[in-house]
Chains A and B, each alone.
Chain A
Amino acid sequence: MIKTDILIIGAGPTGLFTVFEAGLLKLKCHLIDALPQAGGQCSEIYPKKPIYDIPGFPEVLAGELVDNLMEQIKAFQPGFTLGERAETIEKLEDGTFVVTTNKGTKHQAPIVAIAGGLGSFEPRKPLLENLDKFEDNGVAYIIKDPEVYRDKKVVIAGGGDSALDWSIFLADVASEVTLVHRRNEFRGALDSVEKVQHLKNEGKINLVTPGEIIGLKGGDTLEAVTIRKSGAVSEEIDLAVDNFIPLFGLSPKLGPIADWGLDIEKNAIKVDNTLDYQTNIPGIYAIGDVNTYPGKLKLILCGFHEATLMCQSAYQRIFPDKKYVMKYTTVGGVTGFDGSKKEAPKAVVKAID
């Protein structure tokens, strides 16, 4: 059981900044995120895109903003459970919550802050009739262990970086790799496109473009896929394969959080915006893009503000009898849990003779 003061669900910019504001109050944080890296949408969807409305940053790349936030919170030593999705929540008799992930990791905290953005990112699945049946029986959307594909016949579908990169990687592992994409053009790093071209010329990757997988065949496990080749002449062929890996990117879904008994409106969690962004369940807060209230704007800068107020409320909830007033970092400095201390340099007092 991982124990912390504030359990944050979602490691996007709002979740990360919560660690800082909590740290100033000497509260420890642990973050859960379904993606394998911190940063949320900023890292997953648009790391190279500029953002122009972060106060004090005339222009900052989304990926750089995440790097900066990670640096800013480092001294508060946040814990991370990455690549796992928060699945269930349970309230114990002592008022604390236990959140369990899809992989069974358990986390306990008196405060839960949902900073889940648009939800957890799930693979986008192609619209094929018997797709469910073959999931984990030949069809996978995420490659966890490439060795599974050793000496297998693999077909990959998609036109982005992950389709290209995995085709390149599996060309050396699988006995046969076929890459199917609806266009001749690929939307990936130029370097990867050239490598696939090279491997195609060497006969190590079979490229089917423009083409689309329109059917799956097999008994208990996948045995073949039907590919529709378009272009000058359209034809449908069956290709014997052991594995089909559709790589069509990720799309966010609110997911299991929707079943936690929280008030939900417009795919977002209703919170009390007059005070502290608490949900209808005391002790559970929702901050950033995942919440809604009159006048809500889904902006990173609004998430930062919400996180700050939420931490003050969390502190009072954990320590109802303690007196506290907010202190400026310029006055109080920043004392990390790692023993580090940052503070404004003291003015030198020296007499002038």
Chain B
Amino acid sequence: MEDIKIKITDRDGVTHEVDAPTDMNMNLMEVVRSYELAPEGTIGICGGMAMCASCQCYVKSAHELPEKSDDEDAMLAEAFNVEDDSRLGCQIHMTEDLDGLEVVLAPEA
């Protein structure tokens, strides 16, 4: 399986194009952490259980993403800085369909 390319804009507004493996059961939050695009302790605090919103991001490309689970939907209802294109990075799994995905990390809240 091939790696996919993802564009991630960090909280300082810098855009990084990174390779994300699709065969490691990784989600977007973990990709951000693996490249250290946000300081440890400020992202993925709950470990990926859709329970803290520290990995919130705005999806800027037109990719079709899997529907939000009830947990993700409810968490976004309580999070801050939420926009219509907000998602939790930990709930977006890296698949080949997501090649070229563009996201912006939400501010730390």
Contacts and interface: CB of A to CB of B under 8 A. Distances in A.
A118 interface: yes
Interface of A: 41, 45-46, 49, 118-119, 124, 126-127, 158-160, 181-183, 185, 187, 248-249, 251-252, 254, 266-268, 292
B78 A266 contact: no
Interface string B26-41: 0000000000000111
Contacts of B81: 127
B80 A251 contact: no
B105 to A, nearest CB: 16
B61 interface: no
Contacts of B49: 45-46, 49
Contacts of A268: 40-41
B77 A267 contact: no
A248 B78 contact: yes
Nearest to A266: B40
Contact of A254 (B41, B54, B75, B109): B41
Given A118-B41, A251-B52, A124 B77 contact: no
B65 interface: no
Contacts of A251: 45, 52, 54, 109
A182 B77 contact: yes
A4 B51 CA distance: 36
B72 to A, nearest CB: 11
A159 B41 contact: no
A15 B80 CA distance: 32
Chain B residues touching A, majority SS: loop
A249 B53 CA distance: 11
B39 A159 contact: no
B42 interface: yes
A45 B54 CA distance: 14
B77 A187 contact: yes
B54 A183 contact: no
Contacts of A267: 39-42
Which of A159, A251, A267 has the most chain B CB atoms inside 10 A of its CB? A251
Contacts of B39: 266-267
Given A45-B51, A251-B52, A251-B54, A183 B41 contact: no
A183 B82 CA distance: 12
Interface in B40-84: 40-42, 45-46, 49, 51-52, 54, 73-75, 77-78, 80-82
Contacts of B46: 41, 45-46
A257 to B, nearest CB: 12
A45 B52 CA distance: 9
B40 A158 contact: no
Nearest to B107: A127
A220 B45 CA distance: 36
18 contacts: A46-B51, A127-B80, A159-B77, A160-B78, A182-B78, A182-B82, A183-B77, A187-B78, A248-B78, A248-B80, A251-B45, A251-B109, A266-B40, A266-B41, A267-B39, A267-B40, A267-B42, A268-B41
Query: Which 8 residue pairs are nearest across A and B when measured between Cβ atoms?
Result: A267-B41, A187-B74, A266-B40, A183-B77, A182-B77, A159-B77, A159-B78, A127-B80
B66 to A, nearest CB: 20
Contacts of A160: 78
A158 B80 contact: no
A252 B51 contact: no
A266 B54 CA distance: 16
A185 B73 CA distance: 10
B36 to A, nearest CB: 8
B61 to A, nearest CB: 26
A181 to B, nearest CB: 7
B94 to A, nearest CB: 21
Contacts of B75: 187
A124 B49 CA distance: 18
A129 to B, nearest CB: 14
A249 B78 contact: yes
Contacts of A183: 74, 77
Contacts of B80: 124, 126-127, 248
A150 B45 CA distance: 37
Contacts of B74: 159, 183, 185, 187
